[in-house]
Amino acid sequence: MAVDLKPLVTLLAIVNPLACVPFFIHYTQNFSRQQRHHTILVASFSAFVVIAVSALLGLEILGFFGISLASFQVGGGLLLMTSALSMLNAQPADSRSNPDELQEAEVKSAIGASIAVVPLTIPLLTGPATMSTVVIYADKAQGYVQILTLVGYGVVIGLATALCFALAQPIARVLGKTGINIMTRLMGLILTALAVELIAEGLHKLFPILGR
């Protein structure tokens, strides 16, 4: 059975840890080496946990609130489209946070407190768009093997995040702001196409007449 890599590509495009590298560097500049390593480990593991929980429990949560998957698929597609448009405009990663979250991050970094979970993991790395995407792909999964594969993709995302943050300084030197913006725009282009696909599929389920 062939492994579907589309969920992994989508998640890499949404999470886009490269875009968070400048944010990580800025808010950990006052951290010791040990604090920085701790932040990397916690943020990477937290990103995995968000994806794994969304894959394993997301559909049950939708059922509890009585939300149809088709409606959720359209809403999730719109969230993806919003993220994709921001990425196409090369907007900084901190645009995913509100001013209160950014102010809290400034305070935490000044006193050396952890910013790994909030706002680094949520919402900068794994926001609502990431969660909704995982739930949509979890519904498409056929059997526990594909669900576990989706959870495995969460491990890949966590490792990619850890690698980008661990090599944050070299990445910033080599790519620079322009290079990171180019990568962000490329990811945004991929994400736009995937968002359109999800919205179209959801609308077809809601209004079958559109498929005629």
What confidence category does residue 103 fall into, taking pLDDT thresholds of 50, 70 and 90?
A: low
Least confident of 7-11, 53-57, 85-89, 149-153: 85-89
Q: Provide mean pLDDT across the span 62-84.
A: 88
Residue 17 lies in a domain: yes
Tell whether the model's pLDDT for residue 62 goes beyond 60.
yes
Q: Which two tokens stand for residue 23?
A: 């944010």
Residue 1 lies in a domain: no
The alpha carbon of 12 is separated from its chain's Cα centroid by a whole number of angstroms, namely 7
Give the pLDDT confidence score for residue 125 in this predicted structure.
Answer: 92
Question: Structural domain tally of the chain?
Answer: 1
Give the pLDDT confidence score for residue 89 in this predicted structure.
Answer: 84
Q: For all residues of the chain together, what is the average pLDDT?
A: 86
Tell whether the model's pLDDT for residue 91 goes beyond 50.
yes
Q: How far is the C-alpha of 151 from the C-alpha of 154, rounded, in Å?
A: 5
Q: Provide mean pLDDT across the span 131-140.
A: 92
Residue 180 lies in a domain: yes
Give the pLDDT confidence score for residue 7 in this predicted structure.
Answer: 93
Percent of the chain with pLDDT over 90: 38
Give the pLDDT confidence score for residue 119 in this predicted structure.
Answer: 80
First-to-last alpha carbon distance for the chain, in angstroms, is 31
More confident residue, 95 or 21: 21
Give the pLDDT confidence score for residue 112 in this predicted structure.
Answer: 45
Q: Provide mean pLDDT across the span 133-159.
A: 93
Q: Provide mean pLDDT across the span 183-209.
A: 87
**Structural domain harbouring 74:** 6-211
Residue 194 lies in a domain: yes
Question: DSSP letter string over 111-148?
Answer: HT---IIIIIIIIIIS-HHHHHHHHHHHHH--SHHHHH
